[in-house]
Amino acid sequence: MLKGIGASEGYGIGKVMLVEEHSLEYTPKVVTDTEAEIKRYKDAVDTFVQQTMEQAEALKSSAGEKEAEIMQGHIAIIMDPFMGGEIEKLVAAGTCAEAAVEQMCDMFIGIFSATDDDLTRQRAADVKDIKTAMLSILLGIKEVKISDAPAGTVLVAKEVTPSMTAGINKENIVGIITETGSQTSHSAILARAMEIPAVLSVPNVLSQLSSGERVIVDGSAGEIITAPTDEQAAEYETKREAFLREKRELELYRGKKTVSASGEEYELCCNIGSPKDAGKAMDSDGEGVGLFRTEFLFMDRTSLPTEDEQFDAYKAAAQILKGKPLIIRTLDIGGDKEIPYLGLEKEENPFMGFRAIRYCLKNRDMFKSQIKAILRASAFGDVRIMFPLITALEELREGKALVEEAKNDLRNSGIAFNENIPVGVMTETAASGVIADLLAKEADFFSIGTNDLTGYTMACDRGNSDVSYLYSPFQPSVLRMIKSIIENGRKNNIPVGMCGEAAANPMMIPLLMSFGLTEFSVSSVSVLKVRKNISKWTKAEADAVAEKVMAMETEKEITEYLSSII
């Protein structure tokens, strides 16, 4: 048996498909038969063009015309007569095709990356993609195609990236196993959103399993059963059925309000990453969106989305929500969320570095265009703006000033928006927790991001399995932080929600009810479960639990007690 972190509940029994990253290293050769080498290069170009055309076709139906156009652009670059001509000249002079392609691509990447113009810099990312694909073809590396995975497949990869998810067919993938990640890494969030059982952070799992091998993924316990016996397979099949039965029972909570056993009402919203997810949020009976992670609109492409493209996405989400609240978080890049075409420099400490609101306030044109897009969407629903990673009051003030500037621009152009759009703070840093009293006077709402708040309070990287024993929202320090944020929000009459993963934790729910949280924002799949859990507690019971917990001294004591009473 292999152990990891159970990051998406449920049980999957199936056959392993390893998704490995291949090395593109080769030993450059001096070519004597240059004609044959030029032919090898030209054949590789033909294969590249055919592959890319197929990918563009597939993208057209899964992601849309615009993404498909990016792929078609790659064909134009590789067919460019100058580029092709220079590569052929290098080969004719004795350079092998791999080295010639690499040399030319690197030259273009260097030129494009060195400019100040965003669009030109984004071309560098295109050329990088082309280089990787061409070298893979020339080196004869066969990429595993996730979209071709047969029914009953367990995906095993270093990590699940958003681009990989595009290829996942939910019907065929019965489990996910990764080497890295934690409860709150994006691999986990994506697995939960797709309702696929997942076990993450299994050390060296890629070298421990082989393709075709039968395994059981226990996403609830965080275990992988290798070479299962027939008895084990039958036992897990029973567990799987019971799990699915419980899911059906939760349906009783569909269409109901979110109320405690003593009648207090709460708002129960969803976390989303795209307009499509807004549909899922509504299908799951969410009462709105408490967190729209906009960085997914910026990922998996090679250039910044324009103001209009963003407006279309935000407006589409607002329209799907039909007047229900939609909290749009401004770009939260950095840390574990990379956007290659922005060309951000590698940092020693990316989680503490130039990211999120810090990056946005220094890239004002880009930030303003996002804010304008959000403002324009506010004419189509109850749209609200939220800033991530706030650590100082000035950041909130500067962000709000930019919102005012953007409003002015729109007013001057006669474009409609909500003049009273609420602007809130994502309280997810230790600093924002400590100055919650100051922030609450100038923010229209708070949303507690426990994923980062836990990390920043505990000085503990959420993706690092060596320190995961410290990473818990039930640490007394984190609970005090959460309580204080909620109390400061209440004192200043602003609503306080929670959009971190802890909001869906049944052990956390009575504490949050007692502290006075007004909104829970969870992944769509958790909506009914959270509603059921809230309905179990009266306010007085929740207060009694909270009082006991807040007097405890260690995380162990707290979690042992809470797990004994839920």
* Catalytically annotated residues: 186, 499
CA distance 558 to 502: 15
The only residue of 260, 450, 457, 518 in contact with ligand PEP, by rule CB under 6 A: 450
Per-residue DSSP letters for 256-324? ---B-TT--B-EEEEEESSHHHHHHHHHTT-SSEEEEETHHHHSSSSSPPPHHHHHHHHHHHHHHHTTS
- Stretch in the footprint of ligand PEP (CB under 6 A) among 99-107, 319-327, 347-355, 445-453: 445-453
Least distance (Å) from ligand PEP to the CB of residue 291? 6
Task: For the segment 322-361, give every residue that binds ligand PEP (CB under 6 A).
Answer: 332
Instruction: Give the nearer residue to Mg ion in terms of CB position, either 129 or 428.
Output: 428
* Nearest to 485, CA basis, from 556, 350, 390: 390
Alpha-carbon gap, residue 297 to 204, rounded angstroms: 32
In terms of CB distance, is 380 or 520 closer to Mg ion?
520
| Minimum distance of ligand PEP from residue 402's CB (angstroms) | 21
Beta strands at 173-178 and 198-200: parallel, antiparallel or unpaired: parallel
Q: Does 428 bind Mg ion (CB under 5 A)?
A: yes
Alpha-carbon gap, residue 45 to 108, rounded angstroms:
17
User: CA-CA distance, 485 to 315, in Å (whole number)?
Assistant: 31
Binding mask 461-500 for Mg ion (x = CB under 5 A): ----------------------------------------
**Edge-to-edge strand list for the sheet holding 153-157:** 2-3, 223-226, 214-218, 11-19, 153-157, 173-178, 198-200, 5-8
Our CB check for Mg ion shows the closer of 56 and 426 to be 426
Q: How many residues bind Mg ion (CB under 5 A)?
A: 3
Kindly state the smallest distance separating residue 460's Cβ from ligand PEP, in Å.
13
Cβ distance to ligand PEP smaller for residue 74 or 293: 293
Looking at the Cβ atoms of 91 and 390, the one nearer to Mg ion is 390
Q: Quote the least distance from Cβ 385 to ligand PEP, whole Å.
A: 15
Token pair, residue 182, equals 């934690």
Residue 475 touches ligand PEP, criterion: CB under 6 A: no
By the rule CB under 6 A, 307 interacts with ligand PEP: no
Q: Return the number of other C-beta atoms located less than 10 Å from residue 437's C-beta.
A: 14
- Tell me the C-alpha distance between 282 and 279, whole Å: 5
Which residue matches tokens 């681009």?
163
CA distance 321 to 378: 12
- The span of 141-149, 175-183, 304-312, 449-457 binding ligand PEP (CB under 6 A) equals 449-457
The helix/strand/coil state of 149 is: coil
- Closer Cβ to Mg ion, 19 or 390, answer by number: 390
Interface residues for Mg ion in 432-461 (CB under 5 A)? 449, 452
Query: CA–CA distance from 416 to each of 368, 412, 494 (Å)?
Result: 16, 10, 26
How near is the Cβ of 319 to ligand PEP at its closest, in Å? 24
By CB under 6 A, name the binding residues for ligand PEP. Answer: 184, 291, 293, 332, 428, 449-452, 499-500
Q: Which residues bind Mg ion (CB under 5 A)?
A: 428, 449, 452
